[in-house]
Structure 1
Amino acid sequence: MKIYIVGSVSSGKSTLAKRLSKTLKIPYQSLDEFVHIPDKSTPSGNRKRQVEERDNLFYSLIKQKEWIIEDIGRSCFEDGLKESYKIILLEISTKIRNYRIIKRWIKQRLGIEQCIYNPRYKMLKCMLRWSKDYDLGKDNLKDRISTYQEKVIVIRNRKDINNFIERCINSIK
């Protein structure tokens, strides 16, 4: 099984990937970790990997027999969409995403939750802007995945998530 989970910042991609990984016994990977490396010497707390290094990591992953990957749907990872058996599009409401962004940022500022960047006010503003940009279609994610419509599953809420997990459990029985 090869599953690619996409959606806006704070749509629940990592949470769903972890849950599916545990349920299906398939490793998952956040593609953010392929794009960025922790680097405490920078103001943001991370730096971008070289494109060649990022691509080598990515292509070695998608050659594997099974995987679950999650990302905002960056175009540099288009081959993940092609290789996946299922594409899960998380279409969570803006209100919920923005609440999660603020909640996560507070937890990160307090040191309760780890992150790959410095949780400064500037990062909070960026995440809220990315959430808005997603709603405006600035990333063209929905256009790009429309090519793969036959393998796209749209999830909009917790009930959809639970139903999808249940179907996955039933498919492995």
Structure 2
Amino acid sequence: MKKILILGIVASGKTTLAKEISQKINIPWYELDTIVHHETPHGRNKLTPDEQIAVIEDIDRLGAWIFEGTDRESYRCLWDMADTIIFFDTPLWRRKTRIFLRFIKQNLGIEKCHYTSDVQMLRMMYKWRKDFERNRVEFEKRLQPYHHKLIILTDNKKLELIHP
């Protein structure tokens, strides 16, 4: 595995999984949210889909990588580029709990984030989770052509299934 794409919805554990795999097999990882919402000296700037793809292609030219994020149309080029796609599908109750715990930790300064952690963002995270569940069937259909390189995990404790 040299090019790994980790997909999942908000609070599924994508970032934690990406960090663990990155350390285990010594491949750099990238949060797709930080590509979409690029940090500039003047604050965060949302890149256009074409700009996002250009950044992804620049990283791809460097060699091995791990990308993690939710499903956005502008990221789908990664589905073809990746030699392994991991859909991290943690149970719904766990994601709901993590969203709330993340909000608490961020507001207590225990956990850092790249966005403003306020009640509006908390609501948006629950909305995104609900939207994903409503559109899950379509997402899973889009994954079908990639079944030969797809791993579905429900728990990061099953990480031992992934070998370099």
Q: Same fold judged by TM-score > 0.5?
A: yes
Once residues 137 and 35 of structure 2 are traced to their aligned partners in structure 1, the CA distance between those partners, rounded to angstroms, is 19
2:74 alignment partner in structure 1: 76
1:2 alignment partner in structure 2: 3
2:14 alignment partner in structure 1: 13
1:47-86 equivalences under 5 Å are: 47-86=45-84
Match of 1:131 among 100, 107, 129: 129
Once residues 139 and 119 of structure 1 are traced to their aligned partners in structure 2, the CA distance between those partners, rounded to angstroms, is 30
1:97 alignment partner in structure 2: 95
Post-superposition shift, 1:136? 1.5
2:113 alignment partner in structure 1: 115
What do the CA deviations read for 1:81-137 (whole angstroms, capped 9, x no partner)? 101111000111110001111111111111221111100101001101111111112
Give yes or no for contact 2:17–2:156 (8 Å, CA) kept in 1. Answer: no
Change (3 A) 1:63 1:141: farther
4+ residue runs over 4 A deviation:
38-41
**Unmatched 5+ residue regions in structure 2?**
none
Change (3 A) 1:120 1:24: same
**SS class of match (2:121):** helix
Change (3 A) 1:18 1:158: closer
Change (3 A) 1:19 1:38: same
**SS class of match (1:113):** coil
Opposite residue 94 of structure 2, the aligned amino acid is I
Scaled by the length of structure 2, the TM-score of the pair is 0.90
**Bigger mean CA offset, 98-107 vs 30-39:** 30-39
**SS class of match (2:20):** helix
